[in-house]
Amino acid sequence: MSKVYKFRDLPEDFPFAIKFAEMEPYYCMDHTFHWHNYLEISYVKQGIGRYYIGNTVYDIAPGDIIVINNIEPHYMEVLPPEPMIQPVVMFDPRLVSSGASRLSADEQSLEPFFARGSNFSNKIKCNTDIGKNIFTLLTEIEMEYRQKNYGYELMIKSKLLNIFTYLIRNYQDEGKSTGSQAQKNRRLDQLQIVFEYIDKQFAENITLDALASLVFMTPSYFCTFFKNSTGFTPTQFIHKVRISKSIEMLKKSSFGIFEIAYACGFNNLANFNRTFKRTTGQTPSAIRSQLNV
């Protein structure tokens, strides 16, 4: 069974890394939400796409920055026409936490990731002063990480703290987010079960009753829970997963569109074509021709 939760070991002595991601159009993480054991800040150098974080959708373009904590379900998709270049800065909270007082300045700097104000946005726009300043700091962090000159760890930590200060100044107010850590973890555990079931059974008939029973909810309560957690109805999410799988088959297999439709859980070609066009804005044959250029 595939795991939706993405665990990654960061170095113990300096729990920090940068993933240099370059993704082709229609890359979409199988439209499957996942989360990590670390915090991340990504920044777009090239291409356009869309981030789904919890129940919020963000369109992203060059210069945009995305901030995600370790308990936020998310995935992203790359939109045509060009590949997306998007370095992802990953770090453990202990990188900047002094471990001394709960009110230490270092730990307070992490508030934008956890105790967020009501005006917080995961996306920092490229055309804002804070966006330009943070983007510059991220490119400087990337240079330090690539070159690894003497003292680069200290320089990276210093620039991260600078970024956190910008976030505190711009995105904090009195309306803090609600919900205990235990409640949020429980929600993630429930979503994990549902995501893995859909990922495994996408080609089969998936009923609302079956999904609800996985997490011991009534169908009506489950629909509300899922919509509030992801921004999608269960049916919408299943369709997105199936269309994602079909795009992979269009790209990597020689199967006909009719065969792909049935292999991805659609009971007739018309329904597949209609759902595909609604999800991607194009027909299966048009996307296949683009992917095979």
Residue pLDDT tens, the chain, 293 long: 333 445 567 888 899 999 998 999 888 876 678 888 788 999 999 999 999 998 899 999 999 999 998 778 898 999 988 999 999 999 988 787 654 333 344 555 566 665 555 667 899 998 899 999 999 999 999 999 999 999 999 999 999 999 988 888 777 654 555 555 677 778 888 998 999 999 999 999 999 999 999 999 999 999 999 998 898 999 999 999 999 899 989 988 889 999 999 999 998 999 999 999 998 888 999 888 877 65
Q: Residue 261: which domain range?
A: 181-291
Q: 37 with 67, same domain?
A: yes
Total structural domains in the chain?
2
Is the residue at 9 inside a domain? Answer: no
Is the residue at 113 inside a domain? Answer: yes
CA-wise closest residue to 264 among 204, 193, 210, 218? 204
Q: What is the pLDDT of residue 71?
A: 77
Q: What angle (nearest 5°) sits at the alpha carbon of residue 158, between those of residues 174 and 72?
A: 50
In 172-207, which residue ranges form alpha helices assigned H by DSSP? 181-201
Q: 223 with 272, same domain?
A: yes
Q: 200 with 264, same domain?
A: yes
Q: What is the pLDDT of residue 115?
A: 55
Q: 132 with 30, same domain?
A: yes
Q: 22 with 100, same domain?
A: yes
**How far, in Å, CA of 283 to CA of 109, rounded?**
47
- Contact in structure between 231 and 57 (CB atoms under 8 Å): yes
**How far, in Å, CA of 54 to CA of 227, rounded?**
9
- Contact in structure between 19 and 27 (CB atoms under 8 Å): no
Q: 27 with 167, same domain?
A: yes
**How far, in Å, CA of 80 to CA of 236, rounded?**
22
Query: What's CA 100's distance to the chain center, in Å?
Result: 32
Is the residue at 141 inside a domain? Answer: yes
Q: What is the pLDDT of residue 280?
A: 86
**How far, in Å, CA of 239 to CA of 18, rounded?**
32
